[in-house]
Chains A and B, each alone.
Chain A
Amino acid sequence: MATPAALTGNLPPRSASRVLYDRLRGGDEIAYLLTLACTVATLLIVVFLIGELWFRSQAAIKAFGLSFLFSSTWNPNGDQFGALPFIYGTCITSFLALLIAVPFGVASAIFLSEMAPPLLSNIFTFLIELLAAVPSVIYGLLGVFILVPIIRLNLVPLLKHTLGFLPLFKGSTFGFSFLSAGLVLSVMIMPFIVSVSREVLLAVPVEQREAALALGATKWETTWQIVLPNAKTGILGSIFLALARALGETMAVTMVIGNTPVISASLLSPGYSIAAVIANEFAEANGALYVSSLIFLGLVLFGLTIVINAIARIFIVMTSRRFG
């Protein structure tokens, strides 16, 4: 960057340039241009990404069109490709992960921000955030060697014994299943929910709490009726962040989901996810339509993320109108 001294040295002493110099020295113009450039660059990446996915998936789009989304055949030998089992697997595992991680995560965040002594809270938060730094392949390995056997040998017999009449828990028991993938994902996304939600809860002004307590509310009433509603939008934001992570997670999911493109109501059935099939098959895919179909799947995942995010946002707007 040019220093003010260099600028004045290079410019003839004219009033217009003097004005420009003064404006630049304030930093507003430079900051505006710099931040704008960074934003545009980031947006360009998104545009480029969509464009590239779109052009490279043309062969598959031409061959299958929208039926790609509703066909459940994935047969590289017959050049027949359909995305439904993968879309289903991605949605089910992500939903399952949220179902487990949201109550746990939000409860932990409430404890850490409202109940725990500050020192303990900081130590616990640090440890929980460490979970986010663990590479996903490690989660996958732990899933394969610890979680999957536990599920197959302990959890499945228990579920079958108690809830076996539900279609959710019928069928074969490999251990590699939607349930395993959902559980591994829930552990992976938990730190996002805890960490962000805690920050948001801590950001609620102390005056709000003091006012509630002064009016005779208990600690829990203050937390439940004053702090949580204030932090609701932020907590939902943390959940979206976690959801985005769950939708796109590849390695850990492919290691425990069983990699079988089937649609089954049973959570104990093996399945497949979009990210997993792309990672598995892209490197060795032979045939133009095969490669193109895999890229089309990438586009579908992109679209799915947008749709789910949009639904979530509409949901926020609706709930905040009703309760806000």
Chain B
Amino acid sequence: MLELPWGQKGSMKLSKAAGSRTTVVSAFALLAIGAGVPLQAQVSLTGAGATFPAPIYQKWFSDYQSIGNAQINYQPNGSGGGIKAVTEGVTDFGASDMPLTDEQLSAYQSKHGFKVLLFPTVLGAVVPTYNLPSVKQPLNFTPAALAGIFMGTITKWNDPAIAGANKGVSLPNLDINVAHRSDASGTTFVFTDYLSKVSPEWVQKVGKANTSVQWPAGIGGKGNDGVSGIVKQQEGAIGYVELIYAVKNKLAYGNVQNSSNEFVTASLSSVTAAAAGAAKSIPDDFRVSITNAPGKGAYPISTFTWLLIPSKIPDNAKKTALVGFVKWAITKGQDEVEALDYAKLPSSVVTKETKAVSLIR
């Protein structure tokens, strides 16, 4: 999502005001009960980045405030914004829906002299959403069908490429209107990452995964709501949105065929299954794409979302707070994620992360 500079300033002011108010309130509380606990200054941390995990991050940060005595301000200004902010050292940490590229990592290294580390926090998924009032049950999409639709080579809903996977469903002879994101977005990154893995033709025509690509077909809507707005209004339209968004807004979305040739409905468990399938081969820096992941029941358009944390934090109080937060978020914090429709991390990834986070100096 786009957050304009003046918007950020405004919300920063607000959160600062809120912060000082809580400090004052807690100081009064301590005075009132006459507790012997020494009044410790709260550590204040700032972060910026991905909008997709922002709701769970906000919840975590507010819960962690009392647990870790740290106040964390988060600006959901997009994955690109998070990568920029942490690289330029504007914020204490960043957040991103896409793994950093080798160039981005080395750019950070050469600027700061140490590395930036990635920590997966929760999982999300992207679903194809469509508007076909005559079709009641969820449609099945093969990778070839999805790639063909979004490349503009499949133009009718009753095309054999779609009908073949939906035996018994009477598909209308209707034009397919494609809707995609017009703003550069982590959601587009995940979706195009998937398409570029399953379709060589896509790679040839459109290229590798990116936050925005040159779409061969369709029109652009701004944000998840822009895409779903286009889809809702127009019979025969198809777009892609985040799973959480589709669930909350009760959009119709299809099943996607995974690498084991099963048609899988996106759900919290099928997304975690995709992560578990990929977890066996997860690299030490956690930079892994889990689209088209192997494994039974794995939903193929899934992704981790990452926190970006410097490997060296000179301020000891900040380091303790941030390391403590990551440890808490990937263990206790995971109990809170499903209530907000995020998928949990698989336990093998949590174990690996707990080790990695202690390496922050």
Q: C-beta contact mask, A18-49 vs B, less than 8 Å → 1, else 0? A: 00000000000000000000000000000000
B226 within 8 A of A: yes
Find out whether the CB atom of B233 lies under 8 angstroms from the CB atom of A283.
no
Do residues B219 and A270 form an inter-chain contact, with CB atoms below 8 A? yes
Contact among A76, A279, A284 with B81 in the assembled complex (CB-CB below 8 Å): A284
Q: Closest A-chain residue to B188, C-beta based?
A: A284
Q: How many residues of A contact B (CB 8 A)?
A: 30
In the complex, whether A78 has a CB less than 8 A from a CB of chain B is yes
Residues of A within 8 A of B77 (CB): 283
Q: Closest residue of chain A to B211, judged by CB?
A: A284
How many A-B pairs have beta carbons closer than 8 Å: the answer is 96
Q: Which of B208, B220, B226, B230 has the most CB of A within 10 A?
A: B220
Q: How far is the CA of A283 from the CA of B212 in the complex (A)?
A: 11
Residues from chain A with Cβ under 8 Å of B214 in the complex: 73-78
Cα-based distance from A285 to B189 in the complex (angstroms): 12
| Docked complex: B69-106 residues within 8 A CB-CB of A | 77-81, 83, 104
The distance in angstroms between the C-alpha atoms of A254 and B221, with both chains bound, is: 8
Inside 8 A of A111's CB, which chain B residues have their CB?
Answer: none
* B-chain residues with CB within 8 Å of residue A77 when the two chains form the complex: 206-208, 210, 213-214
Closest CB-CB distance, A271 to chain B, in whole Å?
Answer: 9
**Residues of B in contact with A, size category:** 35 or more
- Whether B219 contacts A176 by the Cβ 8 Å rule is yes
Please pick, from B206, B218, B229, B233, the residue contacting A260 in the complex, using a CB distance under 8 A. B218
Q: Which of A149, A272, A283 contacts B1 (CB 8 A)?
A: A283
- Whether, in the assembled complex, B347 has its beta carbon less than 8 Å from a beta carbon of chain A, the answer is no
At the interface, yes or no: B257 with Cβ under 8 Å from chain A? no
User: What is the chain B residue whose CB lies nearest that of A73?
Assistant: B214
With A174-B177, A174-B219, A283-B77 known as contacts, the answer to whether A254 contacts B210 (CB < 8 A) is no
With a CB–CB cut-off of 8 A, which chain A residues contact B211?
76, 284-286
The yes or no answer to A156 lying at the interface (CB within 8 A) is no
Which residue on chain A has the smallest CB distance to residue B213?
A: A77
CA–CA, A236 and B229, complex, Å: 38
Contact A284 B226 (CB under 8 A): no
Docked Cα-Cα span, A279 to B211, in Å, equals: 14
Given known contacts A280-B2, A283-B2, A286-B80, what 20 new A-B pairs fall within 8 Å (CB)? A73-B214, A75-B207, A77-B206, A78-B207, A144-B229, A145-B233, A175-B234, A259-B220, A260-B219, A260-B220, A279-B183, A280-B222, A281-B184, A283-B80, A283-B81, A283-B183, A284-B79, A284-B80, A285-B80, A286-B83
Chain A residues with a Cβ under 8 A of chain B: 73-78, 144-145, 148-149, 152, 174-176, 254-255, 258-260, 270, 272, 276, 279-286
Instruction: Write 13 A-B pairs (CB below 8 A) sorted by A numbering.
Output: A75-B214, A77-B206, A77-B210, A145-B233, A174-B177, A254-B182, A276-B182, A281-B212, A283-B78, A283-B80, A284-B185, A285-B80, A286-B104
